[in-house]
């Protein structure tokens, strides 16, 4: 099989059943697996049989975890019920009560809520730090620090992380580096190859690609994935076989979808930079030779009515999430980053006029026209 990314993304997600020559992987829609006798059942616990009960393992979920891991260049991967479940499993594979984590301030609001709220209840301390300048990260490391956490492309202001520098800091202090690679996907960025120990995806987004599943994947060091896998089973964070199957089906078109997403997003960002109804356009640079991502954020504070903008979108969908083949917009201050304290949002630049655009695979000219129409309709008239 060819080793280039486009070929791998099509062919990796395939569990081979030697008894049935199906072109695609069957859905193992079962809660449990049967055994011939007690010895056969005991073989599972001795590591000689793969499957016992779907909460602790299933061919479809294994297929997804393994495929994403290989695309990331990581030795092992595991699927979970959501991106948040995968993040939690990765963290709990490393940290326990009394430990400390250093996390970037500009992460997804749901992750902020998990780290600041739920982990605090578990006795895990988190320091949120501005990761612009690696020396600030090192300054916040304590004797009980176990993990550094960030995103390859930050949500929603699209700062590009210096993963190699973070990896060097983590190595110097014998810490684990965990990177959320949801926005970039392995098509654009492979954090494990830059020194990260764990890479997490909300596979709900670009890995699945069609807005019809909720799933997560964690890939990375085999020893940590083994622990995370156990946590997923014990906490009931497993992904269902059917959703794993759907996500693998979506993964096969990741490369061609991302190529169009990225091309369209670049054209939209370039067009909007000239629009006088926008205070600022956020679009990352130097993410990858293949492009810079599928998200464009804009700030229309003081120039347009935010309510009127959302009312004027016509065919572009308003959603509280991102990705999928259709162009959509979301309102970070009111949805994804609602849990982040207002002062922290303002400090980051997440204003009441910030809009996050998830650029789809439609014709770029139609996307540009749709956004520009909403801007024109919502623009404050002078005089």
In this structure, is residue 114 part of a structural domain? yes
Together in a domain, 243 and 267: no
Overall pTM > 0.75: yes
Whether 54 is in a domain gets the answer yes
Residue that terminates a domain, selected from 206, 234, 252: 252
The CATH number of residue 116's host domain is 3.40.640.10
The pLDDT of residue 11: 81
Domain match, 165 and 211 both: yes
Does residue 84 lie within any of the structural domains? Answer: yes
What sections of the chain are H helices per DSSP?
A: 5-11, 38-45, 59-72, 83-92, 109-113, 119-121, 134-139, 163-172, 185-188, 222-235, 241-251, 254-272, 306-311, 342-348, 364-378
Tokens of 13: 């997600």
Nearest to 158 by CA among 356, 364, 342: 356
Name the stretches of the chain with pLDDT < 70: 1-2, 14-20, 382-383
* Same domain (yes/no): 347, 201: no
**Res 241: pLDDT:** 97
The pLDDT of residue 18 is: 63
Helix (H) or strand (E) holding 14: none
State the Cα–Cα distance between residues 32 and 54, nearest whole angstrom: 6
Indicate whether 175 and 274 sit together in one domain.
Answer: no
How many residues are there in the chain? 383
What is the number of structural domains in the chain?
2
C-alpha span between 128 and 116 (Å, rounded): 9
What is the chain's alpha carbon radius of gyration, rounded to the nearest angstrom? 21
For 11-23, the pLDDT digits (tens) are 877 666 666 678 8
- CATH number, domain containing residue 280: 3.90.1150.10
Residues 147 and 91 in one domain: yes
Q: For residue 383, is it within any domain?
A: no
**Per-residue confidence (pLDDT) for residue 2, from 0 to 100:** 61
Assess if residue 192 is contained within a domain: yes
- Edge-to-edge strand ranges of the sheet holding 354-358: 280-282, 295-299, 354-358, 328-330, 317-318
- Do 236 and 299 reside in the same domain of the chain? no
CA neighbor of 87 nearest in space, from 66, 108, 72, 63: 108
Residue that is last in its domain, among 232, 252, 272: 252
Residue recorded with tokens 């309102």: 331
User: Could you tell me if 315 and 179 lie in one domain?
Assistant: no
Q: Compute the distance between CA of residue 124 and CA of residue 333 in angstroms, rounded to an integer.
A: 27
Domain that holds residue 346: 254-378
Residues 12, 105: one domain? yes
Claim to verify: residue 63 and residue 147 sit in the same structural domain: yes
Residues 97 and 237 reside in one and the same domain: yes
């Amino acid at each position: 099989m060819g080793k280039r990314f486009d070929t791998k993304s099509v062919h990796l997600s395939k569990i081979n059943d030697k008894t049935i020559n199906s072109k695609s992987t069957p859905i193992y829609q079962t809660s449990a697996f049967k055994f011939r006798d007690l010895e056969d059942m005991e073989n599972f616990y001795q590591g000689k049989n793969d499957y016992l009960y779907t909460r602790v393992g299933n061919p479809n979920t294994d297929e997804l975890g393994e495929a994403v891991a290989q695309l990331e260049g990581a030795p092992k991967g595991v699927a979970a019920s959501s991106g948040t479940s995968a993040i939690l499993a990765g963290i709990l594979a490393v940290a326990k009560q009394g430990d400390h984590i250093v996390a970037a301030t500009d992460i997804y609001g749901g992750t902020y809520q998990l780290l600041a709220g739920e982990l605090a209840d578990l006795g895990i301390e988190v320091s949120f730090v501005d990761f612009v300048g690696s020396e600030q990260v090192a300054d916040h490391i304590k004797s009980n620090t176990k993990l550094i956490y960030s995103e390859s492309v930050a949500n929603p202001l699209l700062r590009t992380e210096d993963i190699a520098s973070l990896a060097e800091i983590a190595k110097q202090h014998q810490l684990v580096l965990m990177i959320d690679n949801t926005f970039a996907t392995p098509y654009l960025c492979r954090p494990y190859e830059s020194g990260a120990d764990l890479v997490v995806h909300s596979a709900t987004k670009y890995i699945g690609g069609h807005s019809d599943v909720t799933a997560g994947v964690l890939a990375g060091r085999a020893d940590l994935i083994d622990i995370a896998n156990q946590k997923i089973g014990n906490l009931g964070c497993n992904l269902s076989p059917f959703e794993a199957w759907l996500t693998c089906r979506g993964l096969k078109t990741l490369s061609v979808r991302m190529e169009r997403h990225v091309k369209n997003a670049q054209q939209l960002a370039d067009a909007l930079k000239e629009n006088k109804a926008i205070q600022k356009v956020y679009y990352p640079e130097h993410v990858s030779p293949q492009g810079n991502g599928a998200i464009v954020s804009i700030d229309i504070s003081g120039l347009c009515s935010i309510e009127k903008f959302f009312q004027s979108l016509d065919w572009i969908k308003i959603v509280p999430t991102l990705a999928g083949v259709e162009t959509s917009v979301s309102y970070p201050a009111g949805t994804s980053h609602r849990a982040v304290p207002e002062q922290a949002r303002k400090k980051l630049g997440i204003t009441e006029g910030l809009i996050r655009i998830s650029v789809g695979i439609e014709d770029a000219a139609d996307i540009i026209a749709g956004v520009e129409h909403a801007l024109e309709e919502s623009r404050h008239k002078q005089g």
